[in-house]
Structure 1
Amino acid sequence: MGSKTRTPPTKLSLLLFLAIFVSSSQADYQQKETNMTLYFQDFSGGPNATVAIVTGIPGKVWSFFSFGTIFVTDDKITAGPERNSPEVGRGQGIYVTSSLDGANTHVLFSIVFTNKEYNGSTLEIQGRSIQLASVRESSVVGGTGNFRLAKGIATFETIYYDATIFYSIIRCNVTVLHI
């Protein structure tokens, strides 16, 4: 005769408790989806620069296409593509040229909302950005305020560039799930 194993009552109670806890904690909030289009007003040089090189590999050229070059940014974000369009936030963070051939950067920055609707809320963007791609895609990995527990995707497309004043307009389409 084979012996029968029985699960002790304490293990069954613990499993039941965990099942109830998991199902009740998931029912406490309903996820919302938010879609928005934002415009980064980016100056990569000149007296109005909103992007600056911090450092790079000693003895190498420091540029957007040089491995190891680190940049900081504080771009104005507007509701429309025009420079005088109402400001809705700031794009603040860092970029690192992260591939040996200079083709990719790693982005890590916050969209910090300053408009009335989302004032003080943030979305956290992180990931690889293929520099010469017409549309670049990064992950939304978190958020605060109105965007607590955000996750989603952000795409970036340069829609205007003026090399004489180092100015570009970057359209950002964001889709996030949040509570």
Structure 2
Amino acid sequence: MTTNTSTRSIFGTANRLDFGASAPKAFRALIAFDAAARDGLDPALVELLQIRSSHLNHCAYCLHMHTNDARKAGESEDRLHMVAVWREARHFFSEREQAALALTDALTLVADAGVPDDVYAEAATLFDERELAQVIALICTINTWNRVALSTAKVAGTDER
């Protein structure tokens, strides 16, 4: 049997570019957008939403980073384990966290069904307009980071901050 060593699986480690070095202006802009999106949000909520989006996008690199960041910030192991199944484990999350997680699901998977009115309305009742805009911006940034990490084949557990 002959194996073609140039063929890699989607989870392979083919040589890929360093996004930050190759597109420094875009990288700095994304860092600035990320920082602006977090402004005024509860750090625990930020990590939960980043973890959830990373689950949905199958981004091991970001999932590893944000679960570690959440632990460092004092997040419990129980809650971290329940993020992937938050709908079935609602008692682990506040009403605001549940609304933000539902919005994260909808916006991350926006091509599937858009952002349903009921999901948006629930979030809008629990967050003021500024907070809701910040949550939406945060979800957009983590989805972008996930796509950068996946397209450049970032490896979980490397390049830790």
Q: TM-score range by the shorter chain?
A: under 0.3
Which has the larger strand fraction?
A: 1
Greater helix content: 2
The TM-score, its normalising length taken from structure 2, stands at: 0.26
> Greater RCO between the two (CA within 8 Å, min separation 6)?
2
Question: Which of the pair has more CA radius of gyration?
Answer: 1
